[in-house]
Structure formats: C-alpha cells, structure tokens
Amino acid sequence: MPASEPPPDLAGLSLAEIVALAEARKLPPVDAWNPSHCGDSGMRIARDGTWFHEGSPIGRPAMVRLFSTILRREADGRFVLVTPVEKLDIEVEDAPFMAVEVKSEGEGLDRSLAFRLNTGDMVVAGPDHPLRFAGRADGPHPYLLVRSGLEALVARPVYYELAEIALAEGADPAGVWSGGAFFALEPGA
C-alpha cells in the first residue's frame, strides 16, 4: 500500500481540506483480520513516538506510516501488527501516535481542532475522536482517540496551545470545544 507524504504543516490548509484528507485516507480492514499469533515483531514505539526495529530507529517516515496502518489494539490491551496471514506483538511505551500539531478554526461551541500526527494522519477532535486528560505525577497527559482504541499522546507544545485556547475562552472547568463536544483539560473532569 503506497503511503503519501504528509503535509508539511496545517497552517496552509483549511479545516475543510483537513477533513477531506482525513476522510480520504483508506486504511486496511485490520479489525476484520483474525490470523494466528505468530510471535514478536521486534518493534517498539517509544514514548516520543519514535518507531524502532530490533533496537534501531526506523528512519524512513514512509515505513512508519505503512506500519501504522496495520496497527491494532487487542481486547486484552496488547498492540499488534496484523495482516491477513500473521499477527505480531509490538511494544508501545505510552501511545502509538503523537499529535504534533493543531489547527483551530472557529470559537467556543463552533470551534474545530484538527491534529496532525507524527505519521502524517489528520484527526479532527469531536465525539468520535475525543480528547482525554490523564493525571500523572509530572502533570496532565492529553490523549486523542485516533481509531479503535489507538490514541495519540498530544505533544507538550500542542497541549500548551490547547491550554491557551481554554484560558482565552474562560470556560469553567477549563477546556476546549471541538466538533460540538467539550473536553475539560482537567483529568477526570
């Protein structure tokens, strides 16, 4: 499956263009594939979103994008790479994706937040792609649901952009709107 190059950034795209790109992306039907478990892939996705194979970073973004299309989360929480004929475990240190950029259009209830992932995928937050905030000792960790139990950790600079939006709008509790849904920035809120 050929992988297209990701856009350099979201700044030059309208929200309508971002939505069209996200909807045009055709993914393999990994949820319909049920091959036998074949073992370990020797792959790992680090906390910062870097993909490794047998200890070495995968340097080709097109390969990372390709592997990301066959990634699935099992009912028991494990992550696997799956094809019609094999299923291999992959270690994921935090979340399999990283949201590295956000574009905001509109205000308040009419706001939409589009995220670009480290794989080049585009995701617009909303009821089908909610944001959640997990509390940890080192502060809140925001996550965006990408698809079928697969989340993106929102990069710290992107989180700060969300916090600026929330503070500017003055909601109580602090939070952001996207796609008609409100997401409180406080863990568990």
pLDDT given at position 22:
56
Q: What is the per-residue pLDDT for 8?
A: 47
Yes or no: say if 141 and 128 are a contact pair by the CB < 8 Å rule: no
pTM recorded for the entire structure: 0.85
To which residue do tokens 């270690």 refer?
Answer: 91
pLDDT in tens, 61-70: 989 999 999 9
pLDDT at 32 over 80: yes
Q: Which two tokens stand for residue 178?
A: 């996207």
Mean pLDDT to the nearest integer, 18-35? 73
Calculate mean pLDDT across residues 116-123: 92
3 state SS of 94: coil
- Thinking of the domain 97-184, which architecture would CATH place it in? Roll (2.30)
**Model pLDDT, residue 13:** 57
Percent of the chain's residues with pLDDT above 70:
85
Handedness of CA 58, 63, 99, 89 (dihedral sign): negative
Q: What's the pLDDT band for 116 if we cut at 50, 70, 90?
A: very high
Q: What is the pLDDT of residues 42-90, one digit of tens each?
A: 999 999 999 999 999 999 998 999 999 999 999 999 999 999 999 999 9
Closest by CA to 71, choosing from 89, 46, 50, 98, is 89
Neighbour-count burial for 60-98, b at 16+ CB within 10 Å, e otherwise: eeeebbebbbbbbbeeeeebbbbeeeebbbbebebbbbb
Domain 25-92 has CATH 3.30.70.890: no
Domain ranges (residues) in the chain: 25-92, 97-184
Q: Can you tell me whether residue 5 is helix, strand or coil? A: coil
Closest residue by Cα to residue 160 from 99, 110, 118: 99
Helix (H, G, I), strand (E, B) or coil at 136: strand
Listed residue (157, 153, 160) closest to 174, CA to CA: 160
Whole-number pLDDT of residue 89: 97
What's the pLDDT tens digit per position in 144-163?
A: 999 989 999 999 999 999 99
